[in-house]
């Protein structure tokens, strides 16, 4: 059936006509037999009824004297059977009085007796019987005087007429079918040529090619070719637009930092991008969790949101439904790395908590001392002056904390670069040494300046910010180095392939040092190596130093060991 549908339309139409002709011929074959039998039977029955009536009338005329058997035999042969009817007359005792000679081949005495019994019951009958291999029409009647009359007729004429008719039907049907088949084959061959061209062109368009058909085809095929060429141009333009749009979408997906995984309504993979492969590698447990969530959402036709762990990272997958296709929606998961966002959220929380803690202590001290002075609880002049001194120190501490916070916030929020200038590092180092040596001597700490004898190369940086960073590092070394310890402020030339490429600044001490966990968080806000916060620092100094170095695009390095001291260093390039 599929191969039949692939044939040209005209060929299919021709095959349908041939099939209809064959069915019609078969119907005519059967109907002709029925019509011929019905027509001949009606005619023959009329003749038989007439013959019976004639015999019945003659028997009525002979009712008083009785029938003359010789005269009756003469009457039946052949006056009453010109159409080859066969007749038989029986008396009341069912004895045969006379019969036509052609009836002997069809009736014997036994069969006649059977029909007599039937006439005794019905009085008359009209039927057809199969006998001796031929069709026989038979009628019978019982007269009022008690005689039985049987009349019949063989239907060889019917069979001969039907055979002749059917022979003529076959004689013109078979040549007609052959001629029609040849004509249809020729027409289908001619008509299929442009159709084959149209089919080949349509297949080329399906492959995305631009096809132009010849328009000089015969008849309506030329109009079809013109319409096809117009359609081909439109389809090619549409395919090009779709391909361009698809490429743009692909590039857009690949450019996203978020991973994309989309499934069709049947659960097949529709699309994914490089970010999804990077965040969720194939066969990894987190990818399996996301795929299971996608299948759940596809089954429930409802989106959801989940977090999965991928090693040390936290991934968030937001699953949404795609536009419906045939009543069902596909699903899409947008995967993003929220590790940094969670870290920032924790940092903000800790930041607020640390600020609150740092502000609470000096404010509580100031409040307690102020209330004592207000209520007159301190009467001694020296004690009152000591209270005043503590209040002033706490106010200064608050002022330093607020200033540090404002400076750190300004460094992080102001994208503008520092004003750069050419400076002589050796002079900066000596100035810092002179400004801070008194601070170290008061704590009985050895403070050493380590710079080359000759001047260091000139560098381009912001002198104030450089001095601020080194001061923060010196202040940190001063706080975490016990009395009798050693602090070194130094600078040296960095050589690369024999060339001066930078100046390395460092601050080294032999104080309490830091363990690995402390080193990870040393540049965080409010982080202090002294967990008791016994020192007077705010915990913002190293955070400020790091932000300044980030603005200068320089990385601060730390080397430290618990109980062995620490060294902070950074390198500023030489122009």
Cα gap 245→68, rounded to integer Å? 115
Q: Would you say residue 533 has pLDDT above 60?
A: no
In the chain, the percentage of residues whose pLDDT exceeds 90 is: 8
Tell me: the pLDDT tens digits for 436-485?
888 888 889 999 999 998 888 999 988 888 888 898 899 889 988 999 99
Cα gap 123→329, rounded to integer Å? 85
> What would the CATH number be for the domain defined by 9-162?
3.30.450.20
Tell me: the pLDDT tens digits for 119-168?
777 766 666 555 444 556 778 888 877 788 888 776 665 566 667 766 77
- Residue 228 in tokens: 């096809």
- Give the residue extent of every domain in the chain: 9-162, 208-255, 256-337, 342-412, 417-573
SS3 147: coil
Banded pLDDT at 45 (limits 50, 70, 90): confident
Tell me: the pLDDT tens digits for 310-360?
877 888 888 888 887 666 788 888 888 887 777 777 767 766 666 676 677
Mean pLDDT is lowest, of 78-87, 422-431, 548-557, for: 78-87
For the domain made up of 342-412, the CATH class stated in words is: mainly alpha
- Residue 569 in tokens: 């260093």
CA atoms lying within 13 Å on the CB side of residue 494: 14
Provide the CATH topology of domain 417-573.
Heat Shock Protein 90 (3.30.565)
Cis peptide before 364 (omega within 30 of 0): no
Strands 134-142 and 148-154: antiparallel
Homologous superfamily of 256-337 in CATH? PAS domain (3.30.450.20)
Cα gap 89→113, rounded to integer Å? 12
- Residue 488 in tokens: 């070194």
* pLDDT for position 131: 47
Q: State which H helix or E strand residue 450 sits in.
A: strand 446-450
CATH topology match: 9-162 vs 342-412: no
* pLDDT for position 488: 93
Q: What is the dihedral of CA 553, 459, 469, 441, to 10 degrees?
A: 160
Banded pLDDT at 554 (limits 50, 70, 90): confident
Rounded to 5 degrees, what angle do the CA atoms 445, 481, 355 make? 130
Looking at the DSSP bridge assignments, the partners of residue 319 are: 304, 333
CA 495 to chain centre: 61
* pLDDT for position 534: 46
* pLDDT for position 570: 92
Please indicate whether residue 504 or residue 20 has the higher confidence score (pLDDT): 504
Q: Would you say residue 35 has pLDDT above 60?
A: no
Task: Look over the chain and give the mean of its residue pLDDT values, rounded to a whole number.
Answer: 76
Cα gap 455→453, rounded to integer Å? 7
- Give the Cβ contact number of residue 119 at 10 Å: 19
Query: What residue has token string 């706080």?
Result: 479
CA 86 to chain centre: 88
């Amino acid at each position: 059936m599929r191969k039949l549908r692939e044939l040209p339309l005209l060929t299919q139409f021709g095959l349908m006509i041939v099939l209809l002709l064959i069915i019609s011929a078969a119907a005519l074959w059967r109907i002709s037999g029925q019509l011929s039998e019905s027509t001949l039977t009606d005619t023959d029955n009329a003749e038989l009824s007439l013959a019976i009536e004639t015999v019945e009338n003659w028997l009525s005329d002979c009712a008083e004297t009785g029938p003359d058997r010789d005269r009756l035999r003469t009457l039946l042969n052949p006056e009453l059977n010109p159409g080859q009817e066969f007749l038989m007359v029986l008396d009341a005792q069912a004895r045969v009085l006379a019969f036509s000679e052609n009836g002997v081949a069809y009736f014997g005495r036994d069969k006649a007796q059977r029909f007599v019994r039937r006439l005794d019951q019905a009085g008359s009958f009209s039927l057809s019987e199969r006998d001796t291999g031929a069709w026989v029409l038979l009628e019978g009647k019982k007269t009022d005087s008690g005689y039985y009359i049987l009349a019949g007729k063989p239907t060889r004429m019917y069979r001969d007429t039907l055979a002749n008719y059917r022979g003529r039907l076959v004689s013109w049907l078979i040549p007609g079918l052959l001629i029609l088949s040849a004509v249809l084959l020729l027409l289908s061959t001619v008509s299929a040529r442009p159709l084959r061209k149209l089919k080949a062109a349509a297949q080329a368009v399906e492959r995305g090619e631009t096809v132009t058909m010849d328009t000089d085809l015969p008849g309506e095929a030329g109009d079809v070719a013109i319409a096809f060429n117009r359609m081909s141009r439109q389809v090619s333009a549409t395919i090009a637009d779709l391909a361009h749009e698809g490429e743009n979408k692909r590039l857009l997906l690949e450019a996203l930092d978020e991973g994309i995984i989309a499934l069709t309504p049947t659960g097949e993979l529709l699309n994914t991008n490089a970010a999804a492969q990077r965040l969720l590698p194939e066969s990894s447990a987190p990818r399996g969790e996301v795929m299971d969530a996608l299948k759940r959402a596809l089954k429930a036709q409802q989106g959801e949101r989940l977090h999965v762990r991928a090693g040390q990272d936290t991934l968030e997958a937001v699953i949404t439904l795609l536009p419906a296709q045939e009543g069902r929606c596909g699903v899409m998961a947008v995967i993003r790395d929220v590790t940094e966002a969670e870290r920032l959220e924790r940092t903000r929380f800790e930041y607020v908590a640390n600020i609150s803690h740092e502000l609470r202590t000096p404010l509580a001290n100031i409040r307690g001392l102020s209330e004592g002075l207000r209520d007159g609880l301190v009467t001694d002049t020296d004690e009152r002056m000591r209270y005043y001194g503590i209040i002033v120190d706490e106010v200064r501490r608050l002022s330093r904390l607020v200033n540090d916070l404002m400076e750190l916030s300004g460094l992080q929020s102001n994208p503008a670069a520092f004003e750069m200038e050419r400076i002589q590092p050796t002079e900066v180092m000596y100035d810092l040494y002179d400004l801070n040596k008194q601070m170290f001597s008061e704590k009985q700490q050895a403070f050493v300046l380590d710079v080359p004898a000759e001047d260091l190369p000139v560098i381009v940086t912001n002198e104030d910010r450089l001095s601020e960073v080194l001061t923060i590092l010196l202040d940190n070394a001063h706080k975490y180095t016990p009395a009798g310890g050693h602090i070194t402020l130094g600078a040296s030339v960095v050589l690369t392939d024999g060339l001066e490429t930078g100046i390395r600044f460092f601050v080294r001490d032999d104080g309490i040092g830091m363990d690995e966990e402390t080193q990870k968080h040393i540049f965080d806000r409010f982080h202090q190596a002294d967990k008791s916060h016994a020192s007077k620092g705010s915990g913002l100094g190293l955070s400020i130093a790091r932000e300044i170095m980030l603005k200068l695009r320089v990385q601060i390095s730390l080397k430290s060991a618990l109980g062995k001291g620490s060294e902070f260093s950074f390198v500023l390039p030489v122009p």
